[in-house]
Structures are given as C-alpha cells and as structure tokens.
Copies of this chain bind each other. A is one copy, B any other.
Amino acid sequence: MQRFSLDEISQMEQRYRAAFINSLSGFKSANLVGTQSAQGVHNLALVSSVFHLGASPALMGMIIRPHTVRRDTLENIMQTGFYTINHVNALMVAAAHQTSARYDANISEFDEVGLSPQLEADFPAPYVLESHIKIGLRLEQIQPIAINQTELLIGAVEQVIIDDETIIKADGYVDIEAVNSVAISSLDGYHSTQSHGRFHYAKANVKPSKLID
C-alpha cells in the first residue's frame, strides 16, 4: 500500500503529477468535439472532460483549459455558438488521439487524421461520420472556474444522431458498449468495455438485483 500526502503530491515532477492526478477520477468519456471557425475551417479535438450535467433541460458540461492546444475549439465555439460531441469508438482510437496534436488553426484535423466531416443542413458544426453517437449542442454559457483558470462550457443538446436505433432500449437507455464507445484513463489510455449488466433502481429494503445481465 502506498500513501501520498499533499506535500508529496505537490513535489511530484509536473508531467508525472499530470499523469498521476488525471488517473484518480476514474474512467473518462472519450469524445471528439467538432467545430467550425468563422472562416469555415473545420476543427476536431479529442476531449476527455465531457460530462452529463442534466437531463431536463438536456445539458452537457465540458472543461476547457484556455491556454492549451484546445484554443481553436474554444474560439470556434465562442464565435459560432455551436459544437458537436461525437463518441470515440474502438476503430477510431488512433485517429482520435492524433487530433490532440498541435495543428495550425487553418488546418482541418479531419483531413490530417483521416476522419470525415458529416455536415447537416440545419446545424452549423461538423459531426464525425465514423462516430456512431453524435450530439449537436448550442453553447448555453461559459462559467469560469476561477481557482485554476479553466472554463466550464455548458451546452444545450439540440440534436442527437444515433446510427443504429436498436441500441436505444425501451426505457431510453442507450447501449453505448454495443457500438464500441471507448473510455479514457489518465491522459493517454484507451479502453473498450465489458458489461456487468444493468441494475434495478435501488430501494432501501430490497437487495440489489439486475435489470439486464
């Protein structure tokens, strides 16, 4: 067993600490964020910080560090007000990871990594054709996180595109494992999943049981 105190964590070498601390929250979602600049250049960025914020209204959160490689994404979202979130699946892991390289603002990551923009007439940001679960969002607000100068982007879900409708179950659950969506660990680990089943809504006087195995 190993314990780390606040002092020991503070004294870790910077990149070591980044890998270590990024591991601690557990598995992260793996999404590609698609945007378009005012000049019409498509941008695609791997983001592991997308999270569920609420179902009614349908909202998704995303943490952006303004002083990193993600700047094009943030600027495009602020200029156009729209972006897409596209699940990374097992077949696109290498291409998705490669979008995190520092490409110039006038270069489309779609072209560079070999993914295809999917343009919808009624939505002003590119989806990823190869992704099986795609969400179109309108920027609702940007909430600064003063403590570490990051930004919480809150997006309202405007459109959802699901390739294979059979993964949507009768109660609304979407079987994201069935389309090979992956999870991320730390900064650079990618993982497919294997289900333990779904559990019934928990009640205080009833033993836990599986809804679906």
Contact = CB atoms under 8 A, between A and B. Distances in A.
A39 interface: no
A154 interface: yes
Contact of A24 (B4, B97, B157, B187): B157
Given A148-B53, A194-B192, A181 B24 contact: no
Nearest to A211: B188
A187 B55 CA distance: 11
Contact of A103 (B147, B191, B204): B204
A15, A189, A204, A211 interface centre (most CB from chain B within 10 Å): A189
A94 to B, nearest CB: 4
Given A27-B29, A98-B202, A148-B57, A173 B161 contact: no
Interface in A52-111: 52-61, 63, 85, 87, 90, 93-95, 97-103
B191 A193 contact: yes
Contacts of A173: 19-20, 23, 185-189
A174 interface: yes
Contacts of A17: 55-56, 58, 172
A189 B172 CA distance: 13
Interface residues of A, number: 113
Given A1-B161, A3-B160, A59 B101 contact: no
A37 interface: no
Contacts of A60: 24-25
Contacts of A100: 202
Given A196-B93, A202-B100, A174 B20 contact: yes
